[in-house]
C-alpha cells in the first residue's frame, strides 16, 4: 500500500506515512519485537542484527546493519515514551560497537492507527542536523541504483516560490 515521504528542510523533519492492509496489533508487533524487526528493518542487501532489545521506556535497541561483505554499522534507539498500540518515541543515533552513541541524533515519533482493517503508521523524524541523512545514505547504499535526480528547474522554482511567500 502507499507510502508518503515528505522532507521539510526548514524544520529539519522527515515524515513517512505508510498504510498496511493488516490489523494494528500485528503491525505494532512488527515495530516493537526484535524477531520481526530484524526481518524487515535493514534494506536489502543489508541485514539487521539486534544485539539487545528492551522495549520499555528507558530501554533501548542496540543493533547492527550488516553489509554483504560483513561490515557492521551500529545503531542505538532509546525508547523515551510508549503508549501501547498507539504511539512510541525514540532517540536514534549511530553508535560504535561498544554502544557509545555518535551525536547528534534524531527524535522519532511513531503513531499507529487503524481504520477498516487498514493500519496507518506515521513516523516523524526530527534531525538536529540533516547531515545525518547524508551519513546514513553513505553507510552502504552507494551501490544502490541512483535515482533520477529531481530537475534543478523544479528545485529553483520551489525555492523562489518559498522566497515569495516569506
Partner 1 sequence: MRRDIFQAIADPTRRAIIALIALQPMTPNALAEHFDTTRQAVSKHLRILTECELVTQDQKGREIFYSLEIEKMKEIDKWLEQYRKIWETRYSQLDDLLAKIKKQEKEK
Instruction: Catalog residues that contact partner 1 under the rule CB under 8 A.
Output: 1, 3, 5, 7, 9-10, 12, 14, 16, 18, 20, 22, 26-27, 30, 36, 39-44, 129-131, 133-134, 136-137, 141, 144, 146-150, 152, 155-156, 159-160, 162-163, 166
57 vs 157 by CB, closer to partner 1: 157
What is the distance, to the nearest Å, from the Cα of residue 118 to the centroid of all Cα atoms in its chain? 21
β-bridge mates for residue 19, sequence order? 120
Shortest gap between Cβ of 87 and partner 1 (angstroms)? 18
Closest CA relative to residue 79, chosen from 94, 61, 104, 64: 61
41 vs 74 by CB, closer to partner 1: 41
52 vs 155 by CB, closer to partner 1: 155
**The three grid cell numbers given for residue 145, joined into one nine-digit string:** 541504483
Give the DSSP letter of residue 53. Answer: E
Spatial distance between the Cα atoms of 4 and 81, rounded to a whole number of angstroms: 24
Shortest gap between Cβ of 139 and partner 1 (angstroms)? 10
102 in Cβ contact with 96 (< 8 Å): yes
Shortest gap between Cβ of 130 and partner 1 (angstroms)? 3
81 vs 160 by CB, closer to partner 1: 160
Burial class (CB in 10 A: 0-12, 13-18, 19+), 96: exposed
Shortest gap between Cβ of 75 and partner 1 (angstroms)? 13
Amino acid at each position: 500500500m502507499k507510502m508518503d515521504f515528505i522532507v521539510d528542510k526548514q524544520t529539519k523533519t522527515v515524515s513517512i506515512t505508510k498504510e498496511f492492509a493488516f490489523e494494528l496489533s500485528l503491525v505494532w508487533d512488527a515495530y516493537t519485537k526484535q524477531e520481526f524487526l530484524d526481518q524487515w528493518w535493514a534494506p536489502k542487501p543489508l541485514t539487521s542484527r539486534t544485539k539487545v532489545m528492551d522495549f520499555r521506556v528507558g530501554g533501548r535497541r542496540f543493533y547492527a546493519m550488516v553489509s554483504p561483505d560483513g561490515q557492521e554499522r551500529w545503531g542505538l534507539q532509546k525508547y523515551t515514551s510508549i503508549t501501547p498500540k498507539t504511539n512510541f518515541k525514540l532517540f536514534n543515533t549511530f553508535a560504535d560497537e561498544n554502544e557509545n552513541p555518535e551525536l547528534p541524533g534524531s527524535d522519532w515519533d511513531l503513531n499507529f492507527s487503524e481504520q477498516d482493517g487498514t493500519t496507518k503508521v506515521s513516523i516523524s523524524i526530527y534531525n538536529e542536523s540533516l547531515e545525518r541523512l547524508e551519513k546514513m545514505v553513505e553507510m552502504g547504499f552507494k551501490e544502490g541504483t541512483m535515482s533520477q535526480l529531481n530537475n534543478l528547474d523544479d528545485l529553483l522554482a520551489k525555492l523562489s516560490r518559498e522566497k515569495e511567500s516569506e
